[in-house]
Amino acid sequence: AVAPGIEKPLPGDVFTIRGTNAETRFPALSHTGNLTPASLFFVRNHTRSPILDENDWRLTVWGGGLRGGPVHFGYGELRSMPSVTRTAVIECAGNGRSLFTTQQGEEVSGTSWTMGAIGAARWRGVRLRDVLHRAGLTSAAVDVMPRGLDDDFVTGGENLGRVRRPLPVAKALDDVILAYEMNGEPLPYDHGFPVRVVVPAWIGIASVKWVGDIEVSDTPLASPWNTRFYRLFGPGHPPGGSAPLTRQTIKSALELPWEERVPAGTPLRLTGRAWSAAAPIRRVDVSTDGGARWHPARLHDAPRRHGWTRWSAEWTPRSAGPATLLSRATDLRGNVQPVRAAHNTQGYLFDAVVRHPVTVV
């Protein structure tokens, strides 16, 4: 059986079961509400989606930060525990990476996303905190490391093992959930069926899919996903890279096709989305003349944490020729999208105002 939401992609959208990466095209979001349907939600896989059976699946919690030996949880057992439901975006740390090159002329390595490595969903599951307490968490615990059941990740001939990344115990006990539903349906295979981690506000790699075990350690844990990847490397950063990345930044994007042709003299409604990990979006400004003048956009969602905000602005294109559209988000803490994103060799956290080309005809 195919998990819900996968079998009916909108025309023109690429979706995978078992495949590697698929990006959501922003224009397709204009047909959706605040939540991203699973059929349009981007997929980021280091290897391929495993097809797991919830009856064979179990979660093992183990390590020196527990009172006793390993504790196992079945799918039905998790389902019978008290649940929470929470809206949160999941966004890849590399979202927007290709714009380092196309907009800033800088070289970066990694999956060449434009702005579509993000989606917002309603996640239902159990609090990681509740599972850790049931497993016998002690005050000696320092780090909590979920690990996926997908294949070992092999890169450049080197086997880095299964995808895993430590969370400080404070974050694990705060707002992290072990999710088994996405938008009211069981998780689709590509998004971590039967159970994934959801770490609100943090970069996507923290939200480990197909979780099979969680190490709870009384000493700090490391994995390639917090040492070799997901730090800022390059000039201006420490030799071993920055501290491991945690929170996402502030961004916005138009739902218009890239290089769209728009007729002169016809009023147009520009729509888009804005999001910030630090605080709800307070305002979005739009420029239709390459950044010379800015006008406030109308916001269509009440300020909310961890979701995104739809916005719109009216524009009547005047003279024929190329034009550049920009949107700039501001959040309630006063964070504003910068003109340039800080370069780093792996192209993480592209937060600059996007220069969106169109042609007026």
Binding footprint of ligand MTE on the chain (CB under 6 A): 41-46, 90, 92, 148, 150, 163, 191, 204-205, 207-210
Which of the choices Mo ion, ligand MTE, none does residue 209 contact, using the CB cut-off of 5 to 8 A by kind?
ligand MTE
Tell me phi and psi for residue 79, to 5 degrees. -60, -25
Count of other CB atoms within 10 angstroms of residue 320: 12
Residue closer to ligand MTE (CB basis): 223 or 271: 223
- Structure tokens given for 213: 């075990």
Segment contacting Mo ion (CB under 5 A): 122-130, 202-210, 271-279, 280-288? 202-210
Looking at residue 341, what DSSP letter applies?
A: P
Residue closer to ligand MTE (CB basis): 273 or 282: 273
CB 283 within 8 A of CB 256: no
Amino acid at position 156, single letter: G
* Closest residue to Mo ion: CB criterion: 92
H-state helical runs in the chain: 75-80, 98-104, 128-134, 169-172, 224-227
Residue closer to Mo ion (CB basis): 45 or 288: 45
Q: Is 119 a binder of Mo ion (CB under 5 A)?
A: no
Gap between the Cα atoms of 173 and 156, Å rounded: 36
Least gap, CB of 97 to Mo ion (angstroms)? 10
The site string for Mo ion over 44-83 (x = CB under 5 A, - otherwise) reads x---------------------------------------
Q: Considering only residues 92, 149, 173, 256, which one is a binding residue for Mo ion as defined by CB under 5 A?
A: 92
Residue closer to ligand MTE (CB basis): 121 or 323: 121
Q: What angle do CA 105, 107, 113 make, to 5 degrees?
A: 90
Kindly give the pairing relationship between strand 268-276 and strand 250-254: antiparallel
Residue closer to ligand MTE (CB basis): 20 or 316: 20
Gap between the Cα atoms of 206 and 210, Å rounded: 13
Q: Is 204 a binder of Mo ion (CB under 5 A)?
A: yes
- Structure tokens given for 350: 């592209």
Count of other CB atoms within 10 angstroms of residue 228: 15
Buried b (16+ CB within 10 A) or exposed e, 289-304: eeeeeeeebebebeee
Least gap, CB of 171 to Mo ion (angstroms)? 17
Which of the choices Mo ion, ligand MTE, none does residue 306 contact, using the CB cut-off of 5 to 8 A by kind?
none
Q: Is 306 a binder of Mo ion (CB under 5 A)?
A: no
Residue closer to ligand MTE (CB basis): 183 or 207: 207
Which of the choices ligand MTE, Mo ion, none does residue 41 contact, using the CB cut-off of 5 to 8 A by kind?
ligand MTE
Gap between the Cα atoms of 6 and 253, Å rounded: 25
- Contact positions toward Mo ion, by CB under 5 A? 44, 92, 204-205
